[in-house]
DNA sequence: TTGTAATCGAGACGGTACGTCATGTCTTGCG
DNA sequence: CGCAAGACATGACGTACCGTCTCGATTACAA
């Protein structure tokens, strides 16, 4: 797998030393000249800017290169496709803020924690800096298995596991039905938000997050009195 | 809006006579020669075949034309994009079977009806004839607003309304909490399936459908005894 | 051989109907749409203009296409390289004037005929419309065997044979030594001019042509008295 | 003029000390490290090998560097183009053998001397070590005026002058018509060979050399009896 | 029965973007 | 400092498709 070259969700401070190898091979000697950090950041920033400005279908590798003041080959040397650039760029958005795998809050109050987490998801999905690249990635992975695997490994599975961890903790605490399938539960809660986001079929607000969590916990049936 | 030229979900038997007007204008005289039904069906069939064989990104208008034994212009005359062809082709899959807007069963047993409906959705999502074109459409609409509107009008909104209708009926019958938001409820149930389908993050089986409906109705909290 | 698509030195008047087949093959049906004569002429004219303006090394297929108001693919469809375009363009220069294989004058006066022919060669070599493309071709064929064969067949061999024909006629008339090698003779006469042209090592004038022919006929040795 | 950095046709044995200055300027300090003779010879040898193996158009500076085990910059530091490398390499071929400007033999027998000289030229033109680089140079100078001047100064003019010297000597000895133009004479003799070489239009053999010289001296007209 | 006009299969056209390759410069340690 | 290594910015390459346009041939009403 050689899709993305940034360090995947590391906790190290010095990202600048975590490069992968070039996508295209050259004759090997004692490596001397190194990858340009300036170029890498300019490319990621340009990709984010452009996907917001012109959309994914109008996003061109040439355009990224031009905006970044970089040669096209410098992009193709390190990424196999514009989708891979975008994945790195998307993760790079959070690079400074979080330096480790995500985790849901665990205050002991399940409803509050889930609500906070889903509100966070909703906020990210509607963040104008994150919506366009994420939407682009969502469609790109549908047709690029390698990118899909990379996206799953670096974005999807970590999020999914964080959710399951929190739900398992709640189940242990007796706050969840002992026979509940945690994956089904998570798919219902986050799937509701994801569906609205993908289909743009309804408002995606904090209120919506609250309702989903409350409904998922209590169920749709009328409360017995 | 002139995206798709097949008849949209009409109840008339003779679909072959419901053409719209050509997408490209020609000088108008007393209409004489008519659209070729043979060509239309060959195009739709070729589009379906090819999207399954080579995927959406490798689907070319030229390829559809060649496979259908048709000139490229015959496609561009009647559809504005390969996405629009695919939408017609996808709907054409169901043409013989259903000749009207979809409706969920309403036997009075809410859980049974929802389970049947979600099982049906799951079956369609995993049908090898439907999965590739639907996946293609799902990504195509992300970048083509006209196609998105057409898809919403002809696929999404009808389904969504059928679900809401059934839930409203249940709410009237006192089988649902009176304050439940029906859109939220539907998004939870169908969003769970849609998420698994999009993210390929888990098995998409009848069992899964059963679990989702049961969990949505009863909630995640432990049942009081 | 599919290098050049104009008719090679035909005597037919209607050159516009002598196209060859496209360089890239497509599936064959009953041919309908035809090659654009307008595009062909624009390309040849643009190639000639540009090679004079910017030189062969700076001649780009993109540049020809742009100058001709033509898509790049329209060039690649009909010619395999810029050298092949240039060969056609060079021959197209003479298209109206000569419609058959070249022939040297044969008035019976060998010295006068050779002098006229060599003056003609010298005039062409120094013609500012012909010098740049011919120089370009001369270097291009050094590294492109297919182009070289085409050039030999359409330019070089016809000229060479015309010269040999005239010399043979003279030999029959007793104006040439019976044991003279006609190829050696022609190489001496035209080689002298070609060398000056290639090496730019001396003036290339009608006078020079006169001297060469006179010297070749009489020899370098002092005339016995 | 900074085209070539080897010593031009010197008679000194120790070529290794005749370097010019680097083509690219660097900040000047007290010169310490000197040009590597090993690198220079490896580059010239690699250039010769490669131009024979892959041809001039496929000859890359990177390829020369790789074959020579040298950094690309080491080539660009000392030569302005691959043509300049090739010119040095071509001259370096003769470095050991001749250490001065070329001269034609002058035994007093003009025909024998010219024949020997032209046979020598023919032998060099057909030498598989010399043909490819020389052909490359011949085309390279057509588009690179600086290289052309250097080639003229170091290869062409010396040869041309040697020929004229020999012919002048013959003219003084009364073996040549007093009014013969020596440049025209030389162009006829060597032009015949050069033309065959460039156009590959006939055998280039010692026999051919003999015929050319004999014909040039005696002329084409039938010998009077 | 014959016009007449739109559609048909076919494919060349003017273009845009692709991903690769080559160029010549710049940067990084090593000797 | 010169050197080997190689990343860099630039830009041309030839290919693949795009969506439009132009050909005859075919087709089906209207006169």
Give the pLDDT of residue D72.
Answer: 93
The nearest alpha carbon in chain B to A133 belongs to: B142
What letter does residue C56 receive in the DSSP assignment?
S
Position D98 scores a pLDDT of 57
Could you identify the residue whose CA is nearest to the C1' atom of nucleotide E9?
B71
pLDDT at B80 over 80: yes
Given this model, what pLDDT does residue A135 score?
95
Q: Does residue D73 carry a pLDDT above 60?
A: yes
Distance CA C192, CA D190 (A): 8
**pLDDT tops 90 at residue A181:** yes
Picking from A51, A127, A44, the residue whose alpha carbon sits closest to that of residue A88 is A44
Higher pLDDT, A26 or B62: B62
pLDDT of residue A46: 97
Question: In angstroms, rounded to a whole number, what is the distance separating the alpha carbons of residues C15 and A130?
Answer: 61
Confidence label for B35 from pLDDT (cuts 50, 70 and 90): confident
Is the pLDDT at B4 greater than 70? The verdict is no
Q: Which pLDDT value is given to residue B3?
A: 46
Mean pLDDT of B131-156: 94
Please compute the mean of the pLDDT values over residues B101-111 and round it to a whole number: 91
Is 80 exceeded by the pLDDT of residue B22? no
Contacts of C198 in chain D (CB under 8 A): 138, 194, 198
Residue C96's pLDDT is what?
62
Residue listed under structure tokens 């979600």: B118
Confidence of residue D90 (pLDDT cuts 50, 70, 90): very high
- pLDDT tens series, chain C, 225 aa: 444 444 333 222 233 333 455 565 443 344 455 889 999 999 999 999 999 999 999 999 999 999 999 999 999 999 999 999 999 999 999 876 655 667 899 999 999 999 999 999 999 999 999 999 999 999 999 889 999 999 999 999 999 999 999 999 999 999 999 999 999 999 999 999 999 999 999 999 999 999 999 999 999 898 776
In this structure, is the dihedral angle defined by the CA atoms of residues C198, C200, C202 and C208, taken in order, positive or negative? positive
Ranges assigned E (strand) in C55-131? none
CA distance linking residue D188 with residue D183, whole number of Å? 9
Question: Measured between alpha carbons, how far is D140 from A208 in angstroms, rounded to an integer?
Answer: 73
- Please, are residues A130 and A90 in contact by the beta-carbon 8 Å criterion? yes
Q: Which two tokens stand for residue C174?
A: 């007793």
| pLDDT above 90: percentage of residues in chain B | 76
pLDDT at D20: 52
CB contact at 8 A, B133 and B155: no
d(CA A30, CA A19): 17
Least confident of A26-35, D4-13, D38-47, D96-105: D4-13
Read off the pLDDT of each residue in A46-57 and give the average, rounded to a whole number. 96
Backbone angles phi and psi of A22, in degrees to 5: -60, 150
Round and report the angstrom distance from CA (C87) to C1' (E31): 54
Residue A223's pLDDT band (boundaries 50, 70, 90)? confident
pLDDT category at D167 given cuts 50, 70, 90 is: very high
- Other CB atoms within 10 Å distance of the CB of residue B116: 17
Residues 91-130 of B with CB under 7 A from strand E: none
Q: What is the pLDDT of residue D102?
A: 77
What pLDDT does residue B95 have? Answer: 75
* Mean pLDDT computed over every residue of chain A: 86
B168 has pLDDT over 80? yes
Residue A100 forms contact with B (CB below 8 Å): no
Q: What is the pLDDT of residue A25?
A: 46
Distance CA D51, CA D134 (A): 10
A chain contacts of residue B183, beta-carbon cutoff 8 Å = 202
For residue D58, the 8-state DSSP code is: T
**Inter-chain touch B195–A199, beta carbons under 8 Å:** no
Please tell me the distance from the alpha carbon of residue C91 to that of residue C2, in angstroms, as a whole number: 16
pLDDT of D223 reads: 78
Q: Is the CB of B71 under 7 A from strand E?
A: yes
Question: What pLDDT, in 10s, does the model give residues C163-176?
Answer: 999 999 999 999 99
Question: With contacts defined as CB-CB under 8 Å, which chain B residues touch A148?
Answer: 200
Q: Which residue has the higher pLDDT, A28 or A188?
A: A188
Which of A139, A143, A212 shows the shortest C-beta gap to B142?
A: A139
Q: Is C81 on the interface with D (CB under 8 A)?
A: no
Exposure string of C57-71, with b = 16+ CB inside 10 Å and e = fewer, is: eebebebbbebbebe
Q: Which residue in A has a C-alpha nearest to residue B208's C-alpha? A: A184
DSSP state string for B173-215: TTSS-TT--HHHHHHHHHHHHHHHHHHT-S---HHHHHHHHHH
Closest by Cα among A89, A97, A209, A106 to A154: A89
Label residue D136 exposed, middle or buried (CB < 10 Å: 0-12, 13-18, 19+).
buried
Max Cα distance, chain A (Å): 77
Distance CA C189, CA D208 (A): 15
D212 touching chain C per CB within 8 A: yes
* Spatial contact of C68 and C46, defined as CB atoms under 8 Å apart: yes
pLDDT of amino acid D6: 44
Asked whether residue B36, judged by its CB, lies under 7 Å from any atom of the DNA or RNA strand E, the reply is yes
């Amino acid at each position: 797998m050689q899709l993305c070259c940034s360090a995947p969700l590391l906790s190290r401070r010095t990202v600048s030393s975590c490069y992968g190898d070039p996508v295209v091979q050259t004759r090997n000697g004692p490596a001397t000249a190194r990858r340009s950090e300036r170029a890498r950041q300019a490319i990621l920033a340009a990709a984010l800017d452009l996907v917001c400005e012109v959309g994914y279908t109008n996003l061109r590798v040439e355009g990224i290169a031009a905006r970044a003041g970089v040669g096209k080959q410098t992009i193709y040397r390190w990424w196999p496709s514009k989708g891979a650039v975008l994945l790195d760029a998307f993760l790079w958005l959070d690079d400074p803020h979080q330096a480790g795998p995500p985790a849901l809050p665990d205050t002991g109050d399940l409803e509050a924690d889930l609500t906070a987490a889903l509100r966070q998801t909703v906020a990210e999905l509607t963040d104008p800096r994150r919506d366009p690249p994420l939407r682009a990635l969502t469609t790109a992975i549908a047709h690029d298995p390698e990118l899909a695997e990379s996206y799953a490994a670096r974005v999807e599975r970590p999020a999914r596991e964080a959710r399951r961890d929190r739900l398992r903790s709640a189940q242990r605490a007796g706050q969840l039905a002992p026979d509940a399938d945690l994956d089904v539960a998570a798919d219902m809660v986050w799937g509701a938000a994801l569906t609205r986001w993908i289909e743009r079929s309804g408002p995606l607000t904090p209120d919506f997050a609250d309702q989903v969590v409350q409904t998922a916990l209590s169920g749709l049936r009328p409360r017995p009195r």
